[in-house]
Amino acid sequence: MRSQRLIHILPEQIASQIAAGEVVERPASAVKELIENSLDAGARSVSVEVEAGGRALIAVADDGAGMGREDAILSLRRHATSKIRDAADLSAIRTLGFRGEALASIASVSRLVLRTRLAADPQGIELLAEGGEIGATRECALAPGTRIEVRELFFNTPARLKFLKTVATEQGAIAETVQRLALANHAVAFRLCADGRVIYDLPRAGSLLERFRQLFGERLAAAMLPFEGARDGVRVAGLAAQSQHSFPTARMLLGFVNRRAVRDRILMRAVTQAYQTLVPRGRYPAVALFVELRPELVDVNVHPMKSEVRFRNSGAVFEICHGALRDRLADQRADDADEVAAALPSGRLAMAAVTHPEFTLAPVAERANPAGALPVAEANGHREPRLLRLVPDARETPRPQQPPLGLGFGAQAHRGAPECAAGIPDYSKLKIIGQLFAGYIVLEGPDGLMLVDQHAAHERITFERLRAELGAGGVRVQALLTPATLELNPARVVMVEASLAELGAIGFELEAFGPATLLLKGAPAVFGAESGLRLLTDMVESLGEPGLRARGETAFEEWLKQLACHGSIRVGRHLDFPEIAALLAELDRTEFKTNCPHGRPVHIQFGRGQLERMFRRS
Ligand SMILES: Nc1ncnc2c1ncn2[C@@H]1O[C@H](COP(=O)(O)OP(=O)(O)O)[C@@H](O)[C@H]1O
Ligand SMILES: [Mg+2]
């Protein structure tokens, strides 16, 4: 009888390629696995070199234990590991690796050269592999340790290759990977070079704070508060930023469990809740949070890339993290102001850089200019239609405010309110009842009760102003009285540099000032120069794929949306009646006023009839 068999076991090489899909998602994941192997081998120094965002080359060299000839050959096989022996070991993992998959996976999708030497051996061994097929092996001269070169990653998996992002993005991801590993292993020296340029050169550090300083710069380091706590066999420790520092993304929330960088919802929640009411809604602090617990109490084998964990008792972990942070943040006043000022290098400028002052909405035009009145023409021919502008809190700016600049608005955006089509309200004609949850303006109209989202409203106003300026020849720039320096996160230098043209076009006049520092000389006038640095910091922090991928006009719209979002008043800001009136008047002079630039509604309405029905009146 003829065999009816359809099922067969895949060849080892194909199985590895499939596994590689899970373990090696992008160059940064290969970098992570290789560095983890170096750390597991007891390296005191790890050096990483990449070319073309890791596509052309990833080389990781260490001074760890190295391997003998047989181990070296075995190490490229799937399920080959020196780190666990039996199932029991799986429940108490003390190494970063344990799955025995990484090298096999990486080898199966690249051309790989492995050189390694045990300290006791006179020579090293060199091994070549292509698409997982081990070729020639020979002796080589090498210092004790291991050096692995991965060339042409994904050369034989075109589908993967297609999913890679720009060189700048992949390189950024690699730098962030190195950053996290370096933070968790401060006693190990790290070096990262990308296309011949040194991104990190970190000598062994004596403490977490010292390593943090090496990675993120003096200014942020000076604002970090050490914290710790322990209970029920769980120990937490780390650094938490003083609450006046906040970031527009969660990128600076760095969580570690047993020295393993993880993305964990429990840890993230503990941090964000600890900072609740301390940082504005929608913004995030900087925190490096290390949780240490007996390996039996946490399962690290829940994710092929080992970037997620499962706690036996997640409630307890949350409580301890949250409690330790809360305790530390409660008394941050005790040692912040003086200490920070003392620790900072140069007076005002530095201070301006560390604080991200909150911005208040201040009516600029006199009451004499009734809401809704057309803007007064100014002597220089520029019209000054602005009733509102963002100015830093009084406590941040003792000096008198400069008069707002005239803004060369394009014709379309700020003509008198176009006659409203039916259904589009004249916001400024409605009766102001007040503010709700410090985020919504409550209005009474002929048709019922209306809530206006203050952030969405201001975002649209700002966006249209910027768009009009751009259309009329460019976003207007206001020069800073004293240029301010911006220290860049080295992991993002390339990405930022790749975006200098766009940042320039939206009004940030920047100059390189050292390898990871920029000098800000001018900022979009619409926000006032004082807020330029904070805005720029936010823009740089939230630089991401969408902004970089888009081209041409859509790209600028994306940038403007971001800028408008960061520069607009937030939920959580108390507004008094004149401020509300000014905001609504301005809104009525703006096109597309019923939706924010992301398309969310500016207002919602509860009809009178609807309310009456709820009270069973009709
Ligand atoms: N840099 C290195 N130095 C010494 N040994 C290494 C190094 N990299 C890999 N190895 C050895 O190769 C084995 C396989 O590595 P890998 O595929 O990453 O699996 P795992 O780390 O899960 O054990 C490791 O268990 C280790 O014994
Ligand atoms: Mg490994």
Reported as a single tens digit per residue, the pLDDT across 506-523 is 889 998 888 788 899 999
Residue count of the chain: 618
- Residue 416 has a pLDDT of 32
Mutate to test the pocket of ligand 1, among 40, 46, 106 (most ligand atoms within 8 A of CB): 40
3-class DSSP assignment, residue 583:
helix
Contact between 509 and 521 under an 8 Å Cβ cutoff? The reply is yes
Atom of ligand 1 nearest to the CA of 145: 3
Contact between 558 and 547 under an 8 Å Cβ cutoff? The reply is yes
Burial of 2 per CB tally in 10 Å (0-12, 13-18, 19+)? exposed
- Residue 5 has a pLDDT of 84
Task: Tell me the pLDDT of the chain averaged across its residues.
Answer: 80
Mutate to test the pocket of ligand 1, among 37, 90, 147 (most ligand atoms within 8 A of CB): 37
462 lines ligand 1 (CB under 6 A): no
- Residue 390 has a pLDDT of 38
Rounded to the nearest angstrom, the distance between the alpha carbon of 119 and the centre of ligand 1 is 16
The segment with the largest mean pLDDT, out of 88-97, 200-209, 343-352, 411-420, is 200-209
Q: How confident is the model at residue 554 (pLDDT cuts 50, 70, 90)?
A: low
Q: How confident is the model at residue 351 (pLDDT cuts 50, 70, 90)?
A: very low
Rounded to the nearest angstrom, the distance between the alpha carbon of 167 and the centre of ligand 1 is 28
Rounded to the nearest angstrom, the distance between the alpha carbon of 162 and the centre of ligand 2 is 26
Considering every ligand atom shown, identify the ligand nearest to the alpha carbon of residue 60 and give its number: 1
76-89 average pLDDT score: 78
Rounded to the nearest angstrom, the distance between the alpha carbon of 100 and the centre of ligand 2 is 6
Rounded to the nearest angstrom, the distance between the alpha carbon of 81 and the centre of ligand 1 is 6
Please write the tens of the pLDDT for every residue from 92-117.
Answer: 778 888 778 889 999 999 999 999 99
3-class DSSP assignment, residue 88:
helix
H-helix or E-strand containing 351?
A: helix 347-354
CA distance 171 to 518: 20
305-310 average pLDDT score: 80
97 lines ligand 1 (CB under 6 A): yes
User: Which candidate, 189, 238, 236, places its Cα nearest to that of 215?
Assistant: 189
pLDDT above 70: residue 605: yes
pLDDT above 80: residue 345: no
475-501 average pLDDT score: 85
Considering every ligand atom shown, identify the ligand nearest to the alpha carbon of residue 36 and give its number: 2
pTM, full prediction: 0.70
CA distance 188 to 205: 7
Mutate to test the pocket of ligand 1, among 34, 103, 260 (most ligand atoms within 8 A of CB): 103
- Residue 541 has a pLDDT of 81
Rounded to the nearest angstrom, the distance between the alpha carbon of 101 and the centre of ligand 1 is 9
Percent of the chain with pLDDT over 90: 42
99 lines ligand 1 (CB under 6 A): yes
pLDDT above 50: residue 407: no
pLDDT above 80: residue 57: yes
Atom of ligand 1 nearest to the CA of 65: 4
Rounded to the nearest angstrom, the distance between the alpha carbon of 237 and the centre of ligand 2 is 26
pLDDT above 50: residue 538: yes
Rounded to the nearest angstrom, the distance between the alpha carbon of 42 and the centre of ligand 2 is 13
Least confident of 27-41, 305-319, 411-425: 411-425
Torsion of Cα atoms, 603 then 607 then 608 then 612, to 10°: -120
Q: How confident is the model at residue 235 (pLDDT cuts 50, 70, 90)?
A: very high
Report which residue type is found at 415. R
3-class DSSP assignment, residue 283:
coil
CA distance 59 to 95: 22
583-606 average pLDDT score: 88
pLDDT above 80: residue 148: yes
- Residue 551 has a pLDDT of 55
Alpha-helix runs per DSSP H in 492-551: 493-497, 500-505, 532-541, 545-549
pLDDT above 70: residue 327: yes
**Phi, psi angles (nearest 5°) of residue 390:** -90, 125
User: Which candidate, 356, 351, 355, 359, places its Cα nearest to that of 528?
Assistant: 359
Q: How confident is the model at residue 487 (pLDDT cuts 50, 70, 90)?
A: confident
**Half-sphere exposure of residue 502, counting CA atoms within 13 Å on the CB side?**
28
176 lines ligand 1 (CB under 6 A): no
Q: What is the DSSP string of 204-272?
A: --SSHHHHHHHHH-HHHHHTEEEEEEEETTEEEEEEEE-TT--BSSGGGEEEEETTEEE--HHHHHHHH
pLDDT above 80: residue 262: yes
Report which residue type is found at 90. L
User: Which candidate, 475, 55, 37, places its Cα nearest to that of 46?
Assistant: 37
243-252 average pLDDT score: 86
Q: How confident is the model at residue 39 (pLDDT cuts 50, 70, 90)?
A: very high
Atom of ligand 1 nearest to the CA of 102: 17
* CA dihedral over 480, 483, 489, 495, signed as positive or negative: positive
Q: Contacts for 416-420 with beta carbons within 8 Å, 24 or more apart?
A: 416/374, 416/589, 417/372, 417/588, 417/589, 418/591
215-232 average pLDDT score: 91
pLDDT above 50: residue 257: yes
75 lines ligand 1 (CB under 6 A): yes
Q: Which residue has the tokens 């290759």?
A: 161
304 lines ligand 1 (CB under 6 A): no
Percent of the chain with pLDDT over 70: 82
- Residue 512 has a pLDDT of 84
Number of H helices, E strands in the chain: 22, 26
pLDDT above 90: residue 192: yes
Q: How confident is the model at residue 552 (pLDDT cuts 50, 70, 90)?
A: low
93 lines ligand 1 (CB under 6 A): no
pLDDT above 90: residue 402: no
Task: Please report, in angstroms and rounded to a whole number, the separation of the first and last CA atoms in the chain.
Answer: 83
Atom of ligand 1 nearest to the CA of 100: 19
Give how far Cα 323 sits from Cα of 114, 230, 236, Å. Answer: 46, 10, 10
- Residue 423 has a pLDDT of 59
Question: What are the beta bridge partners of residue 50?
Answer: 58, 194
Burial of 296 per CB tally in 10 Å (0-12, 13-18, 19+)? exposed
- Residue 114 has a pLDDT of 97
Cβ atoms < 10 Å from Cβ of 379: 6
Report which residue type is found at 266. I
Question: What are the beta bridge partners of residue 114?
Answer: 127, 148
Report which residue type is found at 418. P
Rounded to the nearest angstrom, the distance between the alpha carbon of 97 and the centre of ligand 2 is 4
